[in-house]
Amino acid sequence: MTTPENAVPVPTPAPRGLPAGKMPELRVMPAPSDANVYGDVFGGWIMAQVDIAGSLPATRRANGRVATVAVNSFVFKNPVFVGDLLSFYADITKVGNTSITVYVEVYAERNRLQANTVKVTEATLTYVATGDDRKPRKVPALDELIFPQDR
Ligand SMILES: CC(C)(COP(=O)(O)OP(=O)(O)OC[C@H]1O[C@@H](n2cnc3c(N)ncnc32)[C@H](O)[C@@H]1OP(=O)(O)O)[C@@H](O)C(=O)NCCC(=O)NCCS
């Protein structure tokens, strides 16, 4: 009998058209409540997901809480529709004294059985590492990062 302990995954087609060799920070499917009456997903909903996706590598790099200080650029290149499966990729492009800048790209897998993938959004955001007092905090050096399992 197959149990969760001995289950072996069977080969499954990989998503096509997504950046190779990269792991998305988020994969989300917008629901009807995230769209206007025409079925286009609200830009504000996409911006919120981009902010969350960008904050994840920033939080790892900051080794703690961050606050979004600026949305430096934001381009909606193609519309997003209810039922698109969105993948959010986020790369740190700059680390300052207290700030971390992140480039976020969003791809939509549309009509998934036809494997139609389109880039829908790209944005650059800056986060600031903050302390419990919500004031800026120096971003630790890479060799100073402490992971929870090491604490
Ligand atoms: C984020 C916050 C703590 C920064 O405090 P601050 O006193 O304004 O910080 P500073 O002026 O010292 O700037 C901190 C860093 O942000 C950078 N920064 C500030 N404004 C920026 C902007 N408009 N664009 C890009 N970077 C900016 C600074 O260059 C500095 O980077 P560095 O230390 O790497 O050189 C404060 O502005 C704040 O609380 N803002 C509200 C945050 C928020 O509510 N976000 C939404 C929810 S997360």
Is pLDDT of 147 > 80?
no
pLDDT digit string (tens) for 101-112?
999 999 999 976
Q: What is the mean pLDDT of the chain?
A: 93
Q: Are the C-beta atoms of 66 and 129 separated by less than 8 Å?
A: yes
**Ligand 1 pocket residue status of 98, Cβ below 6 Å:** yes
**Closest ligand 1 atom number to CA of residue 138:** 33
> Hey, what CATH topology would domain 26-140 get?
Thiol Ester Dehydrase; Chain A (3.10.129)
> What pLDDT, on the 0 to 100 scale, is given for residue 149?
67
**Ligand 1 pocket residue status of 117, Cβ below 6 Å:** no
Domain assignments of the chain as residue spans, ordered by start: 26-140
Distance between CA atoms of residues 20 and 26, nearest Å? 16
pLDDT (mean) for 15-34: 94
pLDDT digit string (tens) for 68-110?
999 999 999 999 999 999 999 999 999 999 999 999 999 999 9
Mutate to test the pocket of ligand 1, among 128, 130, 133, 134 (most ligand atoms within 8 A of CB): 128
Question: In this structure, which amino acid lies at residue 13?
Answer: P
